[in-house]
Structure 1
Amino acid sequence: MLTSEFNRRWATLLIEALSRHAIQHVCIAPGSRSTPLTLAAAAHPRLQCHTHFDERGLGHLALGLAKGSGQPVAVIVTSGTAAANLYPALIEAGLTGERLVMLTADRPPELLACGANQAIRQEGMFGAHPAAVLNLPRPTPAIPAAWLVSALDQAMAELKGGALHINCPFAEPLYGGEDGAHQAWSAALGDWWAGRDPWLALPGESPAAAEADWPQWRQRRGVVLAGRLSAEEGVAVARWATALSWPLLADVQSQTGQPLPCAALWLSAPEARATLAEAELVVQFGSSLTGQPLLHWQANTRPLQWWLIEAQPGRRDPAHHRGRRIAAPVSAWLAQHPPLARQPWAPVLAACAAQAQQRVTREVKTFGEAMLAHRLPALLPAHGQLFLGNSLIVRLVDALAQLPAGYPVFGNRGASGIDGLISTAAGVQRATGKPTLLLLGDLSALYDLNALALLRATPAPLVILLVNNNGGRIFSLLPTPEAQREQFYCMPQQVSFKPAAAMFGLHYACPAEWPALEEAVHAAWARPGSTLIEVCTVPDAGAHLLQQLQRAEAS
């Protein structure tokens, strides 16, 4: 009984210490070895607990909660392969900057490497992907409570982005009530228990200095490039670029309103390339560009200077330009670098963008994923948010749509995998409480089908627009060998998602034309719960139309 009581006391301190660092959400999977952590989190008055039976989906649920809230999120899983299933979400967080705290329960040392059940080597199991690792000892009153709480405080204070992996060994027994033993161990922290501040406060980062030569650079020919930004940042960057009269090339994740829409098409036009070649400075805000044409332009453009501003540290420029890597919050940097109004130096780009947008409106006539991408703004819920899947669909939206400025757009565009997309969108909605539109493909949905269980009760209406083009049609855009493309790349599954919606109690529709789709979507916004709307399309129609439009612009 003494072991179980102290395990619980140790876990209670651990969870309390984490709650002092803005953690509000804890995601919990079932398991026995994690019992001390689970019960401590469940008993905490300021934490909201979320559960899921699939650890891989649970990790992505936490990722979405962190995206939506902007705060760190904790995850509790048991030992063994349960912990290994957190790997994809942990990797994604490391690339996109969300803060996750992975609490993996573990067997004590005497049960490792001796054939004990459900015991694997968990220390260092995630390799170089966590931002930080804290391998805790087996709970013992010989270790002061102040050591545990200060170790956690330091780890959390240093966590600027990515995942903190805390490995937590617990010896049996794991169950039993509290009998007051070792109360003095916890009481040693005194009145800390009555407050909400960390035990150990560490200084924050100093703000970045302004670029001293900005007054000179703002008078030259510049281009603004917007990658993944928050809604607030996207609006601010768009205003800044407009005030400078510099062209703004914007990714679908930028939330800038894409004032030069369809860049994935018109960037191929010779006139546009020649004009952009005159740029002397490119100022890029945010990273993780989506479309290949924009990535190609980024890779081949060599201005005098390339500045990349993003709060996350590290190299974020795959083209390795000469210039400045400025790790600073975007809004703060903009405030330090006021624009100077001048005459636009590249007005031809607006004409190129308008021509491309008109071509899209003309050519996208058939109901399918291209029409869905082009007309997506008409389906967005008021005061809501959009979550975009990966592979072909995000590229179609990037190339064919013009999303509203400041409208929240989320996605998993770090590692850009198709795993965990439904789970992540569920987490985003739980954090924000907003009506949510999730757009993804059929293979992505199959990969995360378990996550439909997370959508049975939602804080606001949620619509899954599921494009069923019978396989991974992104490979139709790539030079994959035609003879093997279907079997080894696209992998068509010939499935309907209607039974899946029924199994998890979701509303379902399968419209075959645009008016019916609009009607189904608007009906979904008017009722509570989740709706799965399956849009069945001709398999390669969307990919082929995108290629056709790109060829037309290039010529």
Structure 2
Amino acid sequence: MTRPRPRSESPATDFSVALLDEFVRLGVRDLVLCPGSRSQALALAAAEFERLGALTLHVRIDERVAGFVALGLAAESRRPVLVVSTSGTAVANLHPAVLEAHHSGVPVIVLSADRPDELRGIGANQTTEQRGIFGPQIPTTDVPAPTGAEREPEYAARIARDAVASARGAVHVNLSFREPLSAAITLDGVDTEWTAPASATPIEPVALEPAAGTVVVAGHDAGDAAERLARELGAPLLAEVSSGARFGPNLVVAYRELLAEPGFGDEVRRAIVVGHPTLSREIPALLHRPDVEVVVVRGRTSEPYDPGRTARIVDAIAVHGEPERSWARPWVGRWVAASRMLLEQPSTAPPIDASRSSTPAEQSAYAKHVLAELRRPVDRRMLVEAVWAATWPHDRLVLGASRLIREADRVVPGKRIRVHANRGLAGIDGTVSTATGIDLAVGAEREAAGAARGVTRVLLGDLTLLHDQGGLGLVPGEPTPRLQVIVGNDGGGTIFDGLEVAASADTAALERVMLTPQRVDLAALAAAHGWEYRRAATRSELDQALTASELPVLIEVPLER
């Protein structure tokens, strides 16, 4: 039921207040907005709700940044987050974040201000067709301009309820407003008593029995249920780095290599897919095979992952029975053992006995060896392993769409930490902004619980950083994010070096139109936004930078192409 409010001189303001009242009652706690004239009623109402402690307001200059901040807040909190924009190109700039939210199943609700009907289609300023601007896949409600009618607050509340109920990904509410576009308001209170929505119809799980030749594939956002499922089925766990399931005794890190190896991949007869796999070609090749039964567990994404178009799609799985030790232990054991063997590197550490030697020559040799190791230039494997080792359960790790997430997926060991990545469409858009939203959500949760905060680390390539350099902006009067942005800088999009095009295209053309070289001074970029800057070219410099206390910090790591 809507809270009775005294009417103002602006129907736009009254409608905005009623709308936000209901969103808050439904559990929404964060709203991201950019400035604009047509959206002023929503913006000023949001500021009043924040004054009363009912909402946390996040103000950004650029709608592209705002959309991804909202995405990060929602991805971490698992609650719907509102993002407010004015009309015209402002709405279109939200499109990348809206698409990522849709394809990742992250609840982001866009509230876009629009001109009323009489100003549409006549060439009015800042007016375009905003109804359905994000495409048919995004649930959209077009709201006529309020007039001050008696039942409009109930209508606004219903719109909020419908938006939250539909927010299994992105939702668009397009709100027309007439002048007067706002009026002064002072609210006497807000109903923040949130009641969790009633549980949906219980899901009936599909029964599966353990069987030899089964593997569990954990793609992005699979969660720890995938790890448990692998143990219950007696199956190797092929878990991507952002799956949330990259831990446990059945984990197989070197799954790419083993899927191509005789005696491993060719003996797979059933694949259970949880989450959204995006980081290898070997997984979709496996799921295309006619001799492999594929069962896909439906997740939060808009589409189940079924590259072979033959999978059995289920909502949940219940394992009946236990795997027989006679086949389960050798089946899982040889995958795990082979993976560990493939990941082993020749040790570069000096003999430990040399450190305790009383012989000056041996002591000197030991010291030189240690010094040489600390001065060793950072390569991609060293970088991803160092960042992974520095991150703990109270931290967050955000991986950009670059060579580095694939390198991490190839080599980092099992560890139960929270890893985020925009893998719905796997674009380089908005990575820093997403990480900012994630960090703000973590900070609010830890502050409410009286718990200590960790660090949000962002590992990305140079082009991914530059694509979202607006996300580095620090907002006066708002919390400063505890971010470490670690940039593997190889001077351009060298991920294309590993694709077939590199072998067939003209070298000069490939360099210009695919690799897109850049020479941006990242130290100057950091300084322009008020960030600390570190350059880490060696192992010792990287270790020192990752333990630096100055936050936010941009850490540039030069890498060979």
Tell me if TM exceeds 0.5.
yes
Map 1:207-286 → 2, pairs under 5 A: 207-212=202-207, 214=208, 217-229=209-221, 233-234=223-224, 236-258=225-247, 259-276=251-268, 279=269, 281-286=270-275
CA gap of 1:32–1:247, structure 2 versus 1, over 3 A, is same
CA contact (8 A) 2:274 2:299 kept: no
Distance 1:435 1:377 in 2: 13
2:487 to 463, 466, 469: 466
Distance 1:451 1:193 in 2: 32
Name 2:45's counterpart in structure 1: 40
Map 1:143-222 → 2, pairs under 5 A: 144=151, 145-159=153-167, 161-177=168-184, 196=193, 204-212=199-207, 214=208, 217-222=209-214
2:388 to 372, 377, 389: 377
Q: Which runs of 4+ in 1 moved over 6 A?
A: none
DSSP 3-state at the match of 2:517: coil
- Say how many residue pairs are matched: 504
Pairwise CA distance, 1:286: 1.1
Name 2:28's counterpart in structure 1: 23
Pairwise CA distance, 1:318: 3.5
1:401-452 Cα distance to aligned partner (Å, 9 max, x none): 22412x0000101111111110001001100124111000111111111110
Name 2:554's counterpart in structure 1: 532
Amino acid at match of 1:209: E
TM-score (norm 2): 0.83
Map 1:129-528 → 2, pairs under 5 A: 129-130=137-138, 132-142=139-149, 144=151, 145-159=153-167, 161-177=168-184, 196=193, 204-212=199-207, 214=208, 217-229=209-221, 233-234=223-224, 236-258=225-247, 259-276=251-268, 279=269, 281-300=270-289, 302-303=291-292, 305-312=293-300, 315-328=303-316, 333=317, 339-340=322-323, 342=325, 343-346=328-331, 347-359=333-345, 367-381=378-392, 383-405=394-416, 407-433=417-443, 434-454=454-474, 461-480=482-501, 481-483=505-507, 484-523=509-548, 526-527=549-550
Amino acid at match of 2:486: L
Distance 1:179 1:223 in 2: 59
CA contact (8 A) 2:486 2:557 kept: yes
DSSP 3-state at the match of 2:61: coil
Question: Is 2:85 aligned against 1:77?
Answer: yes
1:175-210 Cα distance to aligned partner (Å, 9 max, x none): 433599xxxxxxxxxxx9757468xx9864212113
Pairwise CA distance, 1:382: 5.8
Pairwise CA distance, 1:154: 2.7
Percent identity between the two aligned chains: 30
CA gap of 1:310–1:360, structure 2 versus 1, over 3 A, is farther
1:90-140 Cα distance to aligned partner (Å, 9 max, x none): 00011000011100001111112222211111111111241x111101101
Pairwise CA distance, 1:538: 1.3
CA contact (8 A) 1:227 1:250 kept: yes
CA contact (8 A) 1:41 1:49 kept: yes
Distance 2:197 2:235 in 1: 41
Distance 2:65 2:439 in 1: 15
DSSP 3-state at the match of 1:271: coil
DSSP 3-state at the match of 2:263: helix
DSSP 3-state at the match of 2:486: strand
DSSP 3-state at the match of 2:344: helix
User: After alignment, is 136-145 or 466-475 more displaced?
Assistant: 136-145
DSSP 3-state at the match of 1:103: strand
CA contact (8 A) 1:429 1:459 kept: no
TM-score (norm 1): 0.84
Question: Is 2:132 aligned against 1:121?
Answer: no
CA gap of 1:299–1:514, structure 2 versus 1, over 3 A, is farther
Name 1:549's counterpart in structure 2: none
Distance 1:194 1:71 in 2: 18
CA gap of 1:266–1:361, structure 2 versus 1, over 3 A, is farther
CA gap of 1:513–1:134, structure 2 versus 1, over 3 A, is same
Distance 1:514 1:301 in 2: 47
Pairwise CA distance, 1:339: 4.8
Amino acid at match of 2:472: L
1:256-304 Cα distance to aligned partner (Å, 9 max, x none): 235211223333323322333xx2x32221123312233333333642x
Structure 1 unaligned segments of length 5 or more: list them: 181-191, 540-555
Distance 2:481 2:533 in 1: 17
Distance 2:117 2:69 in 1: 31
Amino acid at match of 2:32: C
CA contact (8 A) 1:265 1:399 kept: no
DSSP 3-state at the match of 1:89: helix
Structure 2 unaligned segments of length 5 or more: list them: 1-6, 349-372, 444-453
Distance 1:377 1:301 in 2: 37
Question: Is 2:99 aligned against 1:91?
Answer: yes
CA contact (8 A) 1:389 1:421 kept: yes
Pairwise CA distance, 1:340: 4.3
Distance 2:475 2:239 in 1: 32
1:67 to 60, 75, 79: 75
CA gap of 1:321–1:472, structure 2 versus 1, over 3 A, is same
CA gap of 1:178–1:490, structure 2 versus 1, over 3 A, is closer
Pairwise CA distance, 1:530: 0.5
